[in-house]
Chain A
Amino acid sequence: MKRHIMHGGKIVDSEYKSEENEAKKKWSLMEKLLLGLTPRQYLAQAIRNPFNWILAAIFAIGIPLILGRFVFGLHWITHSSNDYPWGLILAFGLFTMVPLSASGFMLGTAVEIFGRHDFHPIERLALLNGLLGYFFAVIFLMVDLGQPWRLPYPMVVSFGTAAVLFLVAWHVATYLSVQIAEVSVSFFEWIGWPQGAKFIRKIIVGLTVAGIILSTLHQGALGALFTYAHGKLHPLWYYASFQWIYFFCSAIPAGLCMVIAVSTIVKKTMAWRCDDNFMDNLDSLTLKLAKGASLGLITYLAIKMIGVAHYNLWGYLATGWGQWYLLEMFVGVVLPIALFGYALRHNKAGLARFTAFLTIFGVALNRINTSLIAYNYKIYHEIPHWREVIVTLTIFAIYIVVYRFILYRLPILYTWKTAPQTAEETVEEPVYIHSGAEPRPVSMYREMK
């Protein structure tokens, strides 16, 4: 793609191929899908990318394993443990992916509710990150459920209304719809149906508020699921009354840091797709997000300490489990707070980016500790089956592919240039000069290298 632009190729960023001539030619859907390349060019750039070869290798092994799971049953890919009914697939796919996807409601709230329009350039990335995270959490779930084709049962067939999972099911389903609506604005722009985008913008406050409610509850509910496991989960990870607040609170820095992390990867790997509005604001936005994340982490640290005091768990801190707990807290919470503080004080976006990755690791470690490592601490440790590890990796790789596919196309990282009728009469005209041949993005790309 970079080569394409360097050679003066045009990228899809509006309805029209060229603005200059009178007979404006629209991009066809196929051309939009192929990023404005010919099929041959598209294939060539895909093959050139070494990352695609890694993905292909993962899929070559992983896809047959996923199919095998549905033919031979769960016991073929997992240890069929009756002691660990929830293994790596859920520990990572559900309990880790969902907090990392809290970004959608966080940025939605900042922009739409609190009117922080300075976050606008990154809002759509955050919304998409939320949507995909949830969508793939459901995919992970579908692979792990005994009878995934019965997933709608709690909605239509039989209601277990007192169950926490009932709430999770309903809220995740509703929230997925809300997020689809939020992200659909970009899709409508891209597909060329502005009325749809306009309608969504009208109800965006309602959608955002619904997003906050649903997120508060189901992020918390995932934590509350573990309050059933009294006696199985180590006391340092089990807090009957606080668990849901911990899961909710730590999801906030997790979601924000995920936006930083994804934007970092995007900046490095698909600079051609980002417009100036995104690129120029990214450093300052990263620091603003880092500020939010560090506030979340400080709150999280405070309420975790309250939990240890409330349940009088000080004694456990001296044990091996206590050291593991302290390590999780130090690496995932205390260290990020310090690093974020330094980065914010000295305006170091690079350090903030590194710290965001560290925070993600910390939250992931917390979720995996809760659902796998400190679970059944009285008996034995479950080491996931190798097929389960590969299946988890494969679904995550599919997630990356879908994520990239959408970022390449929809106006997430760039602003869709619309409607000549407004363009003709307003000062927006100069923007249209910006084309593939323009030196700026290319030079930026060169710097990057």
Chain B
Amino acid sequence: MKGISRRRFLAASLAGGAATTLSVTKEAWGASSFDGYPDGMGVLVDLTRCVGCRSCEAACNKEQNLAAPAEPFDDMSIYDKRFHGQKRRTDENSYTVVNRYEKDGAKPVYRKIQCNHCNEPACLTSCFTSAYKKTKEGAVTYNSKVCVGCRNCMVACPFAIPAYSYSSAFNPEIKKCVFCHETRLKNGQPPACVDACPQEVMTFGRRRDLIKIANDRIRTRPGRYVDHIYGEHEVGGTAWLYLSDRPFEEVGFDTTLSKEPIISNVKGFLSTVPMVLAIWPALFTGFHLLSKKQDHGHGEHAHSAQEEDEK
């Protein structure tokens, strides 16, 4: 009896050990926090300057070879469109979208949304095939070749940006802004939307410089801006940063997001994984052995007798 038990025990421990070693690598990724590449680029969006002309939308559509929309880009009635009571969002044919936020007695505020290119992106950390990549230039890119289509990234993204091309039966993929990485960013050029803007709403530059510029604007024009750079710290910091003269929550921003990246919510669970893998085999094999001992030596026989009965 003893021999068998020991062998079983060792086998179980070995299996557990092997599994633990595997999961250590699992941890290494999620362990430390990442503040972004030092020379990562970004865009500072100044909402006070935007007039809602939608040139950026048109430029993006052209640059990314997306299908032409049902309404042309100079159709401003689109600002009144609602889907389930919601303003427009990104979808498979529009990687960026401008929405209008009105308030009685104030001029409307227009806000452009697109991927914010987080320092520690939730889409990237939630992807089980590593389809996303944060490039050193600051873009969060996506590799459709390995994407299985679980759409976990869409659940994880705190800004609800990634869209899915559900209409494709054989090659559906995630559709989102990639910072024009392949066509422009890699060569040091700003993305198409930034280039197209007639109002200079967007400033392209290194993220750390942009934070200085944003702080300068807040300081030199007192009273004009809300004293906050949205994206400086939200979910661990984003490459796209925003300045506004209206409280951010009034113009569609989620101001309840924590400063920690989304992955930090999941780390608690991830860190229990190696412990369970290491402890459970010994614990339950131990229970098994204990419950045998109880029978004063008859235990093992009781079990094998049972097996005999079945035959």
Complex Cα gap A232–B303 (Å)? 51
Contact A70 B169 (CB under 8 A): yes
Q: Is residue B90 within 8 Å, beta carbon to beta carbon, of the partner chain? A: yes
Q: Is residue B224 within 8 Å, beta carbon to beta carbon, of the partner chain? A: no
Size category of the B interface is 35 or more
Q: Is residue A228 within 8 Å, beta carbon to beta carbon, of the partner chain? A: yes
Contact A241 B129 (CB under 8 A): no
Q: Is residue B288 within 8 Å, beta carbon to beta carbon, of the partner chain? A: yes
Q: Is residue A75 within 8 Å, beta carbon to beta carbon, of the partner chain? A: yes
Asked if A73 meets B166 with Cβ closer than 8 Å, knowing A85-B154, A147-B148, A379-B86, the reply is: yes
Q: Give the nearest-CB partner of B149 in chain A.
A: A146
- Which residues of B are found within 8 Å of A435, using beta-carbon distances? none
Complex Cα gap A422–B307 (Å)? 13
Shortest Cβ gap from A112 to chain B (Å): 7
Complex Cα gap A146–B276 (Å)? 32
Shortest Cβ gap from B194 to chain A (Å): 24
Contact B148 A72 (CB under 8 A): no
- Which residues of B are found within 8 Å of A21, using beta-carbon distances? none
Q: Is residue A206 within 8 Å, beta carbon to beta carbon, of the partner chain? A: yes
**Which of B25-33, B55-63, B196-204, B239-247 sits within the interface?**
B25-33
Task: Give the interface SS of chain A, mostly helix, strand, loop or mixed.
Answer: helix
Contact A162 B265 (CB under 8 A): no
B267-300 vs A: 1/0 string, CB under 8 Å? 0111011001100110011011001101100010
Asked if A74 meets B146 with Cβ closer than 8 Å, knowing A228-B152, A231-B254, A415-B310, the reply is: no
- Which residues of A are found within 8 Å of B44, using beta-carbon distances? none
Complex Cα gap A73–B258 (Å)? 37
Contact B287 A167 (CB under 8 A): no
Q: B285 contacts which of A120, A169, A209, A380 (Cβ < 8 Å)?
A: A209
Contact B154 A82 (CB under 8 A): yes
Shortest Cβ gap from A236 to chain B (Å): 15
Contact B155 A232 (CB under 8 A): yes
Q: Give the nearest-CB partner of A209 in chain B.
A: B284
**Which of B10-18, B106-114, B206-214, B225-233 sits within the interface?**
B10-18
Contact A230 B287 (CB under 8 A): no
Give residues 374-403 of A contacting B (CB, 8 Å): 379-380
Contact A115 B291 (CB under 8 A): yes
- Which residues of A are found within 8 Å of B188, using beta-carbon distances? none
Q: Give the nearest-CB partner of B144 in chain A.
A: A147
Q: A82 contacts which of B16, B91, B128 (Cβ < 8 Å)?
A: B91
Q: A224 contacts which of B162, B167, B269 (Cβ < 8 Å)?
A: B269
Contact B280 A216 (CB under 8 A): yes
Q: Is residue A145 within 8 Å, beta carbon to beta carbon, of the partner chain? A: yes
Q: B156 contacts which of A72, A150, A223, A228 (Cβ < 8 Å)?
A: A228
- Which residues of A are found within 8 Å of B129, using beta-carbon distances? 150, 153-154, 157-160
Complex Cα gap A223–B268 (Å)? 12
Q: Give the nearest-CB partner of B173 in chain A.
A: A146
Task: Please give the number of chain A residues whose Cβ is less than 8 angstroms from any Cβ of chain B in the complex.
Answer: 74
Q: B84 contacts which of A201, A221, A232, A379 (Cβ < 8 Å)?
A: A379
Q: B128 contacts which of A113, A163, A419 (Cβ < 8 Å)?
A: A163
Asked if A227 meets B160 with Cβ closer than 8 Å, knowing A165-B128, A205-B8, the reply is: no
Q: A85 contacts which of B26, B90, B164, B280 (Cβ < 8 Å)?
A: B164
B131-175 vs A: 1/0 string, CB under 8 Å? 100000000000000111111101110101011101111111100
Contact A166 B302 (CB under 8 A): no
Q: Is residue B192 within 8 Å, beta carbon to beta carbon, of the partner chain? A: no
Q: Is residue A78 within 8 Å, beta carbon to beta carbon, of the partner chain? A: yes
Q: Is residue B189 within 8 Å, beta carbon to beta carbon, of the partner chain? A: no
- Which residues of A are found within 8 Å of B146, using beta-carbon distances? 150, 153, 157-158
Contact A201 B149 (CB under 8 A): no
Shortest Cβ gap from A382 to chain B (Å): 9
- Which residues of A are found within 8 Å of B295, using beta-carbon distances? 115
Shortest Cβ gap from A250 to chain B (Å): 16
- Which residues of B are found within 8 Å of A223, using beta-carbon distances? 269
Q: B126 contacts which of A163, A220, A231 (Cβ < 8 Å)?
A: A163
Contact B307 A201 (CB under 8 A): yes
Contact B276 A213 (CB under 8 A): yes
Asked if A217 meets B150 with Cβ closer than 8 Å, knowing A161-B26, A210-B15, A418-B311, the reply is: no
Q: Is residue B256 within 8 Å, beta carbon to beta carbon, of the partner chain? A: yes
A-B contacts, 23 listed (Cβ < 8 Å) = A71-B169, A75-B166, A80-B164, A83-B84, A115-B288, A115-B299, A146-B164, A162-B125, A163-B127, A163-B128, A163-B152, A164-B266, A165-B150, A169-B128, A209-B284, A209-B288, A210-B12, A227-B265, A229-B156, A230-B158, A230-B265, A380-B85, A416-B310
- In the A-B complex, the 6 residue pairs with the smallest Cβ-Cβ separation, listed nearest first, are A146-B149, A80-B166, A162-B29, A85-B151, A73-B169, A228-B156
- Using A74-B166, A145-B150 as known contacts, list a sample of 16 further A-B pairs with CB atoms less than 8 Å apart, ordered by residue number in A: A74-B169, A113-B287, A114-B288, A114-B291, A115-B302, A146-B148, A147-B149, A147-B171, A157-B129, A160-B128, A162-B263, A210-B15, A227-B266, A227-B268, A241-B268, A379-B85
